[in-house]
Amino acid sequence: MKLPHRITQDLREQFGLDESVFRGGSLNSVVRQRMEATGIFELEEYFSHLLRSHEEFLAFADELLVPESWFFRDGKPFQFLTEWARKTWRPKNPGEQLRILSVPCATGQEPYSIAISLLDAGFAPQSFRIEAGDLSLRFLEDARRGEFRPMAFRGGLADQYAHYFEDADEGRRRVKSEVREHVNFRQRNLLAPDFLMGERPFDVIFCRNVLIYFCAQSRARAVAGLMRGLAPGGVIFAGHADALGAITQDMKPVGPTGAFCFERRPVEPAVKRAPGARGSVLANLDVTRKATARKPAPRKQAEPATQAPSKATPEDQWVQVRTLANSGRLQEAEKIASELIGQTPPVADAFCTLGEIYIGLRDYKKAEPLLRRAVYLDARHAQSLFHLALLAERRGDHTGAERLRKRARNADKPKEVKA
């Protein structure tokens, strides 16, 4: 069975899925299940319904991406987490709360495994907090309920943690409340332009076995969002098939084989970047503070006096703005950017940069006119269009938001070059 092009295109644009996900026997099974659920028994009629109904499209995507997970999956990531938190993180952050993100969390096995691992290792209940997110509201509802069938406990590792569960109906096992209270579930979109924007950084991020399903562009966008939300000195746990080290050169593996844990590589001094260069200020984590000038060597008596250091150029100052914003110092970045806007030629990326800073500060009224100015200067400025779509969504203007998203998607496509 082959899905119509319009459906595969929508799945790619909304979920970032690679076309390999849309093939094989699993696709046939999902289509049959959804046809039975909707009472539609003609294939073409169902496909038409799928294109018309947003609710059915989400239900179809949910079934297509049924989470294959179980408690303490792969084992070593959870073992290394407790070791890293005890030996590396806690000595450097005494008295602070360890912040952990699990995304996508599916039906909750992973974040609950994290909580149980830390509690069993002796971490105090107040010493850590887990945020868990998924795009599927159905998965999140199941996760909050915390009840699981026997298949969720396969592999044997969960047996040693049996005292963290209790009996539930229909042969299920329920995660005890003292574990569930450590996890906050909410809807999150890993590919959203504002993913983790303006949030306090996380010390640990679990994002396992999902990047393999994404197309190359979506993988790069997802990794940029994850790194945007990673605290200095933090770590990311990826899946064995996700090949995080191949997606970005900014991360290096740490820990034992099988943990699939990565930390950020030491950052080289920043390369000057003009304000017209592409990229989200809050997603570009390669920019660092401008290196301080070295002290001049002592002058010989016969040599003429050296010139005083020249004043920082606008390009240097924009680099500083992005560096401050990426490190969470948004107020400082806003002050410099606001002054630069009036002193430098109007460039779309500059207005977008300041607009993103205001979004990070949750000052949406100031952000919107700046983003619109960026689009006025460059009608194909995709980053600004995506942000404007999100702002329209916040106002409840769903039609306008969809129109802006379409413009952004079209702007992101390379222009055709005719021979």
**CATH architecture under which domain 76-264 falls:** 3-Layer(aba) Sandwich (3.40)
Task: For 314-412, give the CATH class.
Answer: mainly alpha
pLDDT of the residue at 17? 67
**Is 209 within 8 Å of 237 (Cβ atoms)?**
no
Residue 1 to residue 8: CA distance in whole angstroms:
13
**Is 284 within 8 Å of 273 (Cβ atoms)?**
no
Q: CATH topology of 76-264 equal to that of 314-412?
A: no
Rg (CA), the chain: 24
**Is 358 within 8 Å of 367 (Cβ atoms)?**
yes
DSSP string covering 47-71, please?
HHHHHH-HHHHHHHHHHHT-----T
pLDDT of the residue at 361? 74
Mean pLDDT, consecutive 10-residue segments, the chain of 419 residues?
Answer: 82 70 71 89 91 86 71 93 96 95 94 97 95 91 94 87 94 95 94 88 93 80 91 90 72 88 71 47 41 45 49 79 72 88 82 85 83 86 82 76 79 51
**Is 319 within 8 Å of 353 (Cβ atoms)?**
no
Q: Within the chain, how many helices (H) and strands (E) appear?
A: 17, 10
Task: Give the length of the chain.
Answer: 419
Edge to edge, the sheet with strand 98-102 lists 183-187, 128-134, 98-102, 202-207, 230-238, 261-264, 251-254
Q: Which among 111, 114, 105, 117 has a CA at the least distance from the CA of 161?
A: 117
Per DSSP, what are the bridge partners of residue 133?
A: 186
Edge to edge, the sheet with strand 173-175 lists 147-148, 173-175, 165-167
Residue 97 to residue 203: CA distance in whole angstroms:
9
**Is 172 within 8 Å of 148 (Cβ atoms)?**
yes
Residue 360 to residue 383: CA distance in whole angstroms:
15
Q: List alpha helices for 274-329, DSSP H.
A: 314-326
Q: Where are the domains of the chain?
A: 5-64, 76-264, 314-412
Query: Measured in whole angstroms, how far is the alpha carbon of residue 98 from the centre of its chain?
Result: 19
